[in-house]
Amino acid sequence: MEGPTPVSALIHAATMVTAGIFLICRTFYFFEYSPQISILITILGSFTAFIAGTIGLVQNDLKRVIAYSTCSQLGYMAFACGVSHYDIGFYHLANHAFFKAALFMGAGSVIHALQDEQDMRKFGGLKNFLYFTFVVILVGSLSLIGFPFLTGFFSKDAVLEAGASFFTVESYFGLSLGLFGAFITAFYSLRSLSRTFLIKPLGFKQYFEKSHESGLFMNSPLVLLSIAGFCAGYFLNELVIGFSKDFWQTSLQQLYDNNVFIEMENLNTFVKLLPLILTFSGASVSFIIYNFLSTNFKITILKIKLNPAFRQLYTFLNKK
């Protein structure tokens, strides 16, 4: 399904796409007393986070990359619900709405500026033409990957820490896929950012000559969403999640044995830092590949891409 960018921002951030997670959270009592179904949700959620991320790795349409990142983040939300932390799942849902809407609206600004072109292979160098949009997408991308102290950092780390603290086989399985998904998310986010704004221009000259920032009417929502993507997670963190918080009252609850906030607080420091390490690793590798590699190294990568086995894998992921 494809639609205008503001519609994509609405359905991916706040309404239709996230309705399933909202339903799971609000019907928590079914899942709390059905541990086998919770196990299934944990496994499916972690698989979704991983598989949607691998598909996003090889997409060339800017909106599709952002859309598959939504699918991946939905997997994280489902994973949190599977380990009985519906408050963390809902918290990630709310945080995700801010920076994902900013990303979609920023992508719309890029597409509008380039005569409705969406293929990132025809972008490049737009930082010099669309500086404001670049800042918006930069904030949204950093929040998506979980850059420290931005909105996505608080909830994404909480999801993975909940998985590490639940002490079951399926939670550890989901945690491993979630950690690998964190690396992938950082990689494709920096890939789309680099191919759109940082590398040399690859499209038609007349497109870049005519490119311009959108007017005040289109940019005002971007300012608000960027501010929320920057700091909303910090202000909501202590309010909605944590031990003995009464924000949800009876809207979201869990069995006493399934509450692992004490275990999360006392989690091993290395385990807490692992998502951040993998995030920085994925972002760094992507940034280096798309901005600093020599021509000879790029030719080597091209030969790998043209290998029949790699082409089959690429086609499998690219065609979903």
Give dist(CA 251, CA 248) in Å, integer: 5
Is this model's pTM higher than 0.95 or not?
A: no
- Does residue 184 contact residue 276 with C-beta atoms inside 8 Å? no
Give dist(CA 158, CA 165) in Å, integer: 10
Which residues on neighbouring strands pair with residue 61, listed in sequence order?
119
Q: Which of 222, 197, 225 is nearest to 211 (CA)?
A: 197
Does residue 1 have a pLDDT over 60?
Answer: no
- C-alpha 303: how far from chain center: 30
Mean pLDDT of the chain: 89
H or E element that contains 296: helix 295-305
The pLDDT assigned to 6 comes to 84
Give dist(CA 56, CA 52) in Å, integer: 6
Does residue 294 have a pLDDT over 80?
Answer: no
The pLDDT assigned to 88 comes to 93
The pLDDT assigned to 48 comes to 95
Give dist(CA 288, CA 291) in Å, integer: 5
* Cα Rg of the chain, angstroms: 20
Q: How far is CA 301 from CA 180, 294, 310, in A?
A: 22, 11, 11
pLDDT band for 115, please (50, 70, 90 cuts): confident
Helix (H, G, I), strand (E, B) or coil at 119: strand
Give dist(CA 241, CA 101) in Å, integer: 23
